[in-house]
Amino acid sequence: MKKYASAPAYPYVIWMLIFIIVPLLLVVWYGLFKVENGNIQFTLEYFARFFEPVYIQVFIRSILLAVISTAICLLIGYPLAYILAGSTFKNKSVLLFLAIVPMWMNFLLRTYAWLTILEKNGIFNQVLRFLNLPDQNLLYTPYAVILGMVYNYLPFMIIPIYNALEKMDHSLVEAAADLGANKRKVFRKIIFPLSLPGVVSGITMTFMPAVTTFVISKLLGGGQSTLIGDVIENQFKVSNDWNFGSALSLVLMIIILLSMRIMTKYEEENAGGGLL
Amino acid sequence: MKKFFALLLVLTLTFSICACSGSTTPTADKPLAGTTLKVFNWGEYIDEDVISMFEEETGITVVYDTFETNEDMYTKIKASGDNSYDVCFPSDYMIKRMIDEDMLAEIDFSNVPNYKYIDQKYLKQVFDPEDKFSVPYMWGTVGLVVNTDLVAEKIDSWQVLWDPKYEKQILGLDSERDAVGLTLKALGYSLNSRDEAELEEAKQALIKQKPNILAYVGDQVKDKMINEEAAIAMLWSGDGIALKMEDPKFEYVIPKEGSNFWIDSVVILKNTQNKAGAEAFINFLCRPDIALKNVEYICYATPNTAAYEQLPDEIKNDKTAYPGEDVLSKCEIFENLADSDILQTYSKIWTEVLSQ
Amino acid sequence: MRKTLNKIYTFLIYLFLYAPILVLIVQSFNESKYRGKWEGFSFKWYVEMFQDRTILLSLRNTLLIALIAATVATIIGTIAAIGIHKMKPFSKGLVMNATYLPVLNPDIVTGISLMLLFAFISIPLGFTSLLLAHITFNIPYVILNVLPKLKQMNQNLNEAALDLGASPWYAFQKVILPEIMPGVLSGFLFALTLSIDDFVISFFTTGPGVSTLSITIYSMTRKGIKPEINALSSLLFVVIMLLLLLVNSGNNKKNQKLEKNY
């Protein structure tokens, strides 16, 4: 019996090979080979271009903004998940569901709505003026991009954490309290470690799309906080340079998988959980 | 929760059954009835009544899809082989590329009698010098829109983009080809320049311009200008004219150094399965009343003389919507640069400008 | 005191999540077609929306694709997660990394590479290819939601059931599934959400006549977004909320029971 325990994964593995690995090989092909006069040649020139200062700078900015947004998502998402999981409200799952419904409205429309809120004569500044506070020009700054990312990926953080907390064995909490641990200690020693799988899942689901996003920086950053996703997008859509675009996305993949690996390394249990 | 999804599913299914269309068979006056024509166009680039009218008159079923950029359209058509579209609407430089790559079918103009309404001015262009493959659909320019409430002086030059008076008051165009190309134009070079020194100069100019730029935007330009978020914006003529019509305080200017002049045309794809239907469609689009309907809906300029004649006088005589030869002679069409490495240089310049 | 604070906090977060939706709804009643200008209250975009065949057709495709793709992805993903959970660390790591790839790849790369794949194995671009693409990028999110639940589960339960003579299928239904249900459900929700919102991958993997709402909306850039789209989104939003309310008020008792089972 044990021998076949992983058998349920096989259909997916086949699916994965066809629809994930084969397309990936295409990306590798474009990133590493070029066809010149009918000859196929291995080349590292596309990878070399990544190391030009301008692209490194864009790349660092992408990682930085994604890390900040993920951290904010965790900071404001964890308490909400915690409150929801501990709430006595009858239909908790409805509340949770409500966290994700906004994302069913088209992304572009929601982001446009943020423009209406944040712009110079927008709703946010109208409110500030009403309160006799000075105007804030948030739009078209990196802050607006971070806001856009947090707004978009917050549910990706809340839900896995909620699920983990919800599933927690509450007798452990009670036992710890009975043994004299104060609330803080209970949280630090029991609750947080137990919710860790959810936190890791949440970080993964927030950070990865945040690094590769492109529309948010265009719309809320006014095109002035170019991210690596924008650059890759451009190689395919404007510059007609699929090779460079593929090379860039390969670099992106490798670096992120590595950095996620470092981030989750301390968690022994997760050693076989992927991320290299 | 389960019930919720069950309900949602039922609603979707009911809805999807409601939305389908019938088919007909050919008759003497509708020889093409029952066939299908697959059309690929820019979003919001046709009056949708036109499609229904065409279907009614010919019995052809139109499958209508939209794309966002020329490059998206090109990639899609290139990859999808036989199961592709019959008719699409590329811009000038893309038409050239598609001709060069043998993706387009020659149009049989005996099936397009309404072609005679197309103004000679817009024919024999560099991208299709013998007019074998394309029929102009809309054309326009790129220019500046100025909110005269906020800008007292008369604007007639790209130089205003570098005027320190307008710090954070200007909206740029979020398109590297336009941004770099028009900067080249402002510096007195060709907007198709492949000269490294000229491109470097354009890059420095763009970087110098950045303190004035509030944001590089796309289609939100109109909303932003109406909302008085900025005083000056770079945009396409159709948007400029639409703004002027919305509020007379806006002025659309084609700067004196010249600008980009563009044409979007209708073409038939090589592996079309309904060439006759495609030609009937193009002929229909060239019919004066239909061309008029479309131009009134889209706001760009029509190359159709008969439709032009029927436009209201204030549009007809508007030198910004329909600039004269004196202005157009200074404007250039974008050439296809995809055959060279120069697009990569553009891309790098643009990334560097944005990252400053 | 603490409870009130909790309530305020929850309210603020939801306000943040819903603020743009409220703006969108208000704008859908704006007579003007421009975002920044209020010209008076009007239902005209709602009327025009129902006469717009492109919008209606895209809406149909969007809902169909999203529901089918999310359902299939949830089934494949959940079963896969159970298998992956039992894998040896090495193969588990391998499979998981491959699983992250579609999440990591910028959409344009996933979209174009899938398009090339479909051309290569001669699946014509259309409804089927679009569906396959959506299932593919949905599965990782399902797995990512289900795996933590499996990790938290008491590992002995399933084996105990099997030892007591339950068939693997019976044990799955009675032991594993109830334990991981919240993860499965949120995986489904994520899948649905991503499907509804995706533009780039959809654009490159669909064929003539199969447009989704996102494709239609994004391609409106030449002339600007039609206000009808705001009307449609607001309407959809209200329908979803009503459905939610309906299901909940009618089945409060049942729901409570369900919740306990989860």
User: Domain ranges in chain A?
Assistant: 1-43, 53-237+245-272
Neighbours of B, requiring at least 3 CB pairs below 8 Å, are A, C
A249 pLDDT above the threshold of 80: yes
Contacts of A121 in chain B (CB under 8 A): 227-229
B222-240 burial string, b = 16+ CB within 10 Å, else e? Answer: bbbbbbebbbbbbbbbbbb
* B215 in reach of chain A (CB within 8 A): yes
In which band, very low, low, confident or very high, does the pLDDT at C252 lie, cut at 50, 70 and 90?
A: low
Q: Which neighbouring-strand residues pair with B217?
A: B173
* A202 in reach of chain C (CB within 8 A): no
Higher pLDDT among residues B106 and A184, named by residue: B106
C1 pLDDT above the threshold of 50: yes
Contact flag B343-A238 (C-beta cutoff 8 Å): yes
pLDDT (average), residues A22-31: 90
**Topology of the domain covering A53-237+245-272:** MetI-like fold (1.10.3720)
Domain formed by B18-139+262-315, architecture: 3-Layer(aba) Sandwich (3.40)
Between CA B331 and CA B183 the distance in angstroms is 13
Contact flag B227-C211 (C-beta cutoff 8 Å): no
Query: If you measure CA to CA, which chain C residue comes closest to A271?
Result: C89
Contacts of C207 in chain B (CB under 8 A): 80, 83
Contacts of B16 in chain C (CB under 8 A): 60, 63-64
For position C251, what pLDDT does the model report?
57
State the smallest CA–CA distance between residue A64 and chain B in angstroms: 14
For position B209, what pLDDT does the model report?
94
For chains A and B, CB pairs below 8 A equal 81
| Average confidence score pLDDT of chain C | 85
* B83 in reach of chain A (CB within 8 A): no
For position A168, what pLDDT does the model report?
76
Contact flag B344-A231 (C-beta cutoff 8 Å): no
The ranges assigned to domains in chain B are 18-139+262-315, 140-261+324-355
Contacts of A224 in chain B (CB under 8 A): 213, 215-216, 354
Q: In CATH, what number does B140-261+324-355 get?
A: 3.40.190.10
* A103 in reach of chain C (CB within 8 A): yes
State the smallest CA–CA distance between residue C226 and chain A in angstroms: 11
Residue numbers of C between 73 and 132 with CB closer than 8 Å to A? 76-77, 79-84, 86-93, 95-110, 112-114, 116-117, 132
* B174 in reach of chain A (CB within 8 A): yes
Between CA C122 and CA C116 the distance in angstroms is 10
Q: Residue A100 is nearest to which of C110, C139, C189, comparing CB atoms?
A: C189
pLDDT tens track for C132-141: 999 999 999 8
Query: If you measure CA to CA, which chain A residue comes closest to B72?
Result: A237
Between CA A47 and CA C51 the distance in angstroms is 51
Contacts of B48 in chain C (CB under 8 A): 52-54
pLDDT (average), residues B249-261: 94
Decide if A210 contacts A229 (C-beta within 8 A): no
pLDDT (average), residues C94-104: 84
Q: What percent of chain A has pLDDT over 90?
A: 30
- Which of A39-48, A185-194, B30-39, B43-52 comes out lowest in average pLDDT? A185-194
Query: If you measure CA to CA, which chain C residue comes closest to A6?
Result: C83
State the smallest CA–CA distance between residue A175 and chain B in angstroms: 33
Contacts of A241 in chain B (CB under 8 A): 343-344, 347
Contacts of A139 in chain B (CB under 8 A): 215
State the smallest CA–CA distance between residue C138 and chain B in angstroms: 18
B18-139+262-315 and B140-261+324-355: identical CATH topology: yes
pLDDT (average), residues A52-65: 92
pLDDT (average), residues B251-267: 95
Contacts of C132 in chain A (CB under 8 A): 19
pLDDT (average), residues A73-91: 86
* C144 in reach of chain A (CB within 8 A): yes
For position B5, what pLDDT does the model report?
67
Between CA B302 and CA C188 the distance in angstroms is 49
Contacts of A219 in chain B (CB under 8 A): 220
Contact flag B71-A240 (C-beta cutoff 8 Å): yes
Kindly state the tokens that stand for B22: 């019938």
State the smallest CA–CA distance between residue A69 and chain C in angstroms: 15
Q: Residue B71 is nearest to which of A61, A237, A244, comparing CB atoms?
A: A237
Query: If you measure CA to CA, which chain B residue comes closest to C129?
Result: B80
Q: Residue A90 is nearest to which of C6, C189, C256, comparing CB atoms?
A: C256
pLDDT (average), residues C78-96: 87
Between CA B112 and CA A206 the distance in angstroms is 55
Q: Give the single-character DSSP code of A221.
A: S
Record the pTM: 0.87
Query: If you measure CA to CA, which chain C residue comes closest to B218?
Result: C221
SS3 per-residue string spanning chain B: CHHHHHHHHHHHHHHHHHCCCCCCCCCCCCCCCCCEEEEEEECCCCCHHHHHHHHHHHCCEEEEEEECCHHHHHHHHHHHCCCCCCEECCEHHHHHHHHHCCCECCCCHHHCHHHHHECHHHCCCCCCCCCCCEEEEEEEEEEEEEECCCCCCCCCCHHHHHCHHHCCCEEEECCHHHHHHHHHHHCCCCCCCCCHHHHHHHHHHHHHHHHHEEEEECCCHHHHHHCCCCCEEEEEHHHHHHHHHHCCCEEEECCCCCCEEEEEEEEEECCCCCHHHHHHHHHHHHCHHHHHHHHHHHCCECCEHHHHHCCCHHHHCCCCCCCCHHHHCCCECCCCCCCCCHHHHHHHHHHHHHHC
In which band, very low, low, confident or very high, does the pLDDT at C81 lie, cut at 50, 70 and 90?
A: very high
Contact flag B43-C57 (C-beta cutoff 8 Å): no
Q: What is the number of helices (H) and of strands (E) in chain A?
A: 14, 2
Contact flag A222-B347 (C-beta cutoff 8 Å): no
Q: Residue A238 is nearest to which of B1, B172, B176, comparing CB atoms?
A: B176
Q: Residue B343 is nearest to which of A112, A140, A240, comparing CB atoms?
A: A240
| Average confidence score pLDDT of chain A | 85
Contact flag B215-A54 (C-beta cutoff 8 Å): no
pLDDT tens track for C103-117: 878 888 889 899 889
Q: Which domains does chain C have, with CATH numbers?
A: 54-225 (1.10.3720.10)
For position A273, what pLDDT does the model report?
43
State the smallest CA–CA distance between residue A179 and chain C in angstroms: 24
State the smallest CA–CA distance between residue B284 and chain A in angstroms: 32
ipTM at complex level: 0.86
State the smallest CA–CA distance between residue B254 and chain A in angstroms: 24
Contact flag C114-A23 (C-beta cutoff 8 Å): yes
For position B21, what pLDDT does the model report?
47
Contact flag A234-B344 (C-beta cutoff 8 Å): no
B17 pLDDT above the threshold of 60: no
B183 pLDDT above the threshold of 80: yes
B195 pLDDT above the threshold of 70: yes
Cβ-based neighbours of B332, under 8 Å, separated by 6 or more? B185, B190, B191, B192, B258, B260, B261
C38 pLDDT above the threshold of 90: no
Kindly state the tokens that stand for C136: 């593919």
In which band, very low, low, confident or very high, does the pLDDT at A1 lie, cut at 50, 70 and 90?
A: very low
pLDDT tens track for B72-123: 899 888 887 777 899 999 999 999 999 999 999 999 999 999 999 999 989 9
For position B353, what pLDDT does the model report?
92
In which band, very low, low, confident or very high, does the pLDDT at B51 lie, cut at 50, 70 and 90?
A: very high
pLDDT (average), residues B184-192: 94
Q: Residues C5-12: contacts with CB within 8 Å, 24+ apart?
A: C6/A83, C6/A87, C9/A79, C9/A80, C9/A83, C10/A80, C10/A83, C10/A84, C10/A95
Best CA proximity match to B240, nearest among C223, A132, A61, C259: C223
Q: Give the single-character DSSP code of A41.
A: E
In which band, very low, low, confident or very high, does the pLDDT at A240 lie, cut at 50, 70 and 90?
A: confident
State the smallest CA–CA distance between residue B197 and chain C in angstroms: 33
